[in-house]
Structures are given as structure tokens and as C-alpha cells.
């Protein structure tokens, strides 16, 4: 018997950590919430955020939205083809198309990319738990993940990237309780 379905999740380590925390009752709701921003930041770090920010903060503004969209598509072609990168670029194109410019467009793109990435990853976790575990445990995991999503402040995560001049490196680490007295709260 394995430690749980989160071990065989075909996802990156930071999303597996989040799924493990959501699946195990030993982790409090706050500990599940703690893992969500870290997973998001780890994913978004792959996107070419400085290039996207430069395009959205250009001097031309919304008068040349088609030019900005072409430049964003060029960044997509030149960058790594990760899902997070594509989501950020798609959200940036959506922000430009809706008439946003400058830092407002960049902030909107980051916030929407966070929300989209969370929805996508949560669906993958839930589907995996439906296949590998019972429907009851899948519902438990989904409920805990949804509670974490509702508590997560996407604006704060977006502003952590917005304030950085480059993509933040080496994000926060999840706390691990390894001592005898650091078990779950009773």
C-alpha cells in the first residue's frame, strides 16, 4: 500500500505537496492554504514575466493592441512551452483585448493566470483521486482544495510578481513538522 494517491499524481512536486496536504486530515486547513501560493508561484516563475511586463507596459498603449498581441505571441514561440507560460500569455492577450494597458493589464493578466492555473491543477488532482481512490476521498480532497482556493488571495500573489523587476527565484518553502511535539492539533 502506498502513502496515498498523491504519490502517483502526474504533476510537479509542489502540486503533489498540495494534494497530499488536502488528502490527509493530519494537515490543518491553514497548512493546505499555505501550500497553494507556493505551488502557484513555482509554476508562474517559468513564464517569461519580464518580457510580458515590458510588452504590456509599452509606450504605445492600447492604440496598438494588435501589435502587442503579436509581440506576446512571439514571446510564446520563443519561450518554453509550459502550461503556466501559455496561461499567462493567454491572460495577457485577454487583458490587452479588453482594453487594459500598462501595469493594470499586467496585474489583471497575473491574477487571471493564477485563477486559471488553480482551476486546471485542481481538476487534475480531483480526476486522479477519482481514478486512484474512492469517490468519497475525491470529494474530501476537492472540498479541502476549494476551501484553500477561497482563502487564497490571488491579488497578493500577483503583486509579488508585479513588485519584482525579474521573476522571483527561490520561493518560500513549505513548513514540515518532523518533531514528536509537532503533530496535528487535537
What is the distance between the alpha carbons of residues 56 and 102, in angstroms, rounded to a whole number?
5
Closest by CA to 114, choosing from 80, 63, 161, 70, is 161
Does residue 32 contact residue 144 with C-beta atoms inside 8 Å? yes
DSSP-derived 3-state class of residue 153: coil
Return the pLDDT at 105.
Answer: 93
pLDDT value of position 166: 47
pLDDT of residue 43: 87
Q: How far apart are CA 54 and CA 52, in angstroms?
A: 5
SS3 123: helix
Q: Which residues contact 173 (CB under 8 A, 6 or more apart)?
A: 38
Check whether 63 has a pLDDT greater than 50: yes
Query: What is d(CA 17, CA 71) in angstroms, rounded to the nearest whole number?
Result: 36
Domain ranges across the chain: 13-162
pLDDT in tens, 66-82: 889 999 999 999 987 78
123-169 tens-digit pLDDT? 988 888 888 877 788 899 999 999 999 998 889 888 888 765 444 44
Of 43, 46, 33, 44, give the one whose Cα is nearest residue 174: 33
Amino acid at each position: 500500500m502506498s502513502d496515498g494517491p498523491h504519490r502517483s499524481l502526474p504533476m510537479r512536486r509542489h502540486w503533489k505537496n498540495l494534494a497530499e496536504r488536502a488528502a490527509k486530515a493530519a494537515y490543518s486547513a491553514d497548512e493546505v492554504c499555505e501550500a497553494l501560493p507556493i505551488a502557484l508561484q513555482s509554476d508562474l516563475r517559468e513564464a517569461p514575466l519580464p518580457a510580458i511586463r515590458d510588452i504590456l507596459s509599452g509606450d504605445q498603449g492600447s492604440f496598438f493592441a494588435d501589435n502587442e498581441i503579436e509581440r506576446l505571441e512571439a514571446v510564446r514561440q520563443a519561450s518554453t512551452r509550459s502550461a503556466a507560460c501559455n496561461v499567462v500569455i493567454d491572460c495577457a492577450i485577454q487583458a490587452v483585448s479588453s482594453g487594459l494597458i500598462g501595469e493594470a493589464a499586467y496585474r489583471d493578466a497575473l491574477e487571471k493566470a493564477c485563477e486559471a492555473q488553480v482551476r486546471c491543477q485542481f481538476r487534475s488532482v480531483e480526476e486522479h483521486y477519482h481514478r486512484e481512490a474512492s469517490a468519497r476521498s475525491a470529494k474530501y480532497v476537492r472540498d479541502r482544495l476549494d476551501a484553500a482556493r477561497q482563502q487564497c488571495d490571488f491579488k497578493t500573489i500577483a503583486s509579488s510578481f508585479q513588485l519584482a523587476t525579474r521573476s522571483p527565484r527561490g520561493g518560500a518553502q513549505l513548513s514540515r513538522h518532523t518533531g514528536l511535539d509537532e503533530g496535528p492539533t487535537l
